[in-house]
Amino acid sequence: MACAQPSPQPGSDGGADATAAGADAAASDAPGADARPFVCDINDPQPPPNSVLWPAVLSASGADTLGGHGHDDGFGAVGYCPGTPAAGQPFYQLVAAGFETDEDLNGVNGNGDALPVNFWRDAAHFVGVGESGGRVNIYVDIVDEAGTVLNVDSNPEIRLVRTIYQGPEDVLGLTSKPANEFQTNMPMIGGGTRYSVAIHGASDKVVNMRLPVNHHVTYELIFRRLQN
C-alpha cells in the first residue's frame, strides 16, 4: 500500500532554515537549556523545540498523518517529551529524529532508499525522511558530546527504555552492530501498538511511534549524552 510523498522537510527549499539554524545550536545546548513548556501526553503529542532536527512529517495529523495515503489511524502525530536533568548523572538529549515511509519517494530503487546512519549530521541540509524497504523498526543511536557513537563495547552499561502504551515497559541493552548501522533497533508490531522510547536515566523521550494502519515504516532517533 503506497503513501503520499511527505511535504517539504526542514532543510528543503520549502524552508525550515530556522529549524536548521536552531539545530546548529543543539550541539552546545546544556541540558534543559531550551524553554520546554511541554506536557508529556501520548494522546496530545507535542513537537520538540527548534534545536531538535525533526522532519515535519512526524508532526502531521489528520489525512497527512505520517505521510498520508492511508496512514491516518486516528492516533495523530509523533511527539516529544522533555527530560529532567539530574545532578551527578548524564542527561540524554534528543538531537534528531527521522522517518522512513513505505512509499517510493523518488521513483528510483523501489522503496529501498534508506536513511543513512549519519542523516542528522548535516543540519543545513537535513531532510530526515527516507524509505523503509519493508522494515518495521525503531532505530536508535547515542552519541557523546563530540558526536562519537556509543556502542555496546564502549558503553555496555547504557540501557534504553521502550514503553508500549497501556502495555509493558522493557529495559534493553545496546545491540552489537557494525559502525555503518544504527547501534540499536527494536521491531514494532501492528494492530495499533504505540511505542515510546527514552534512554534509561535522565532523558528526553519520543512518544506515539507505531505502524500506522499496519504500514511498514521506521523511526530513527539520535540522542546525545551530556555530562551534567
**How confident is the prediction along the chain (228 residues), in pLDDT tens digits per residue?**
444 344 333 333 333 333 333 344 444 444 444 444 567 899 999 999 999 999 999 999 999 999 888 899 999 999 999 999 999 999 999 999 999 999 998 888 788 899 999 999 999 999 999 999 999 999 999 999 999 999 999 999 999 999 999 999 999 999 989 989 999 999 999 999 999 999 999 999 999 999 999 999 999 999 999 997
Task: State how far the Cα of 127 lies from the Cα of 106, in Å rounded to an integer.
Answer: 14
Q: How many CA atoms lie within 13 A of 145 on its CB side?
A: 9
Q: Is the distance from CB of 62 to CB of 94 less than 8 angstroms?
A: no
Beta strand 218-226 with 91-101 is antiparallel
Global confidence as pTM: 0.83
Closest CA to 32 of 116, 109, 104, 91: 91
Torsion of CA 167, 115, 226, 28, to 10 degrees: -130
Q: Rounded to a whole number, what is the distance in angstroms from the first to the last CA of the chain? A: 46
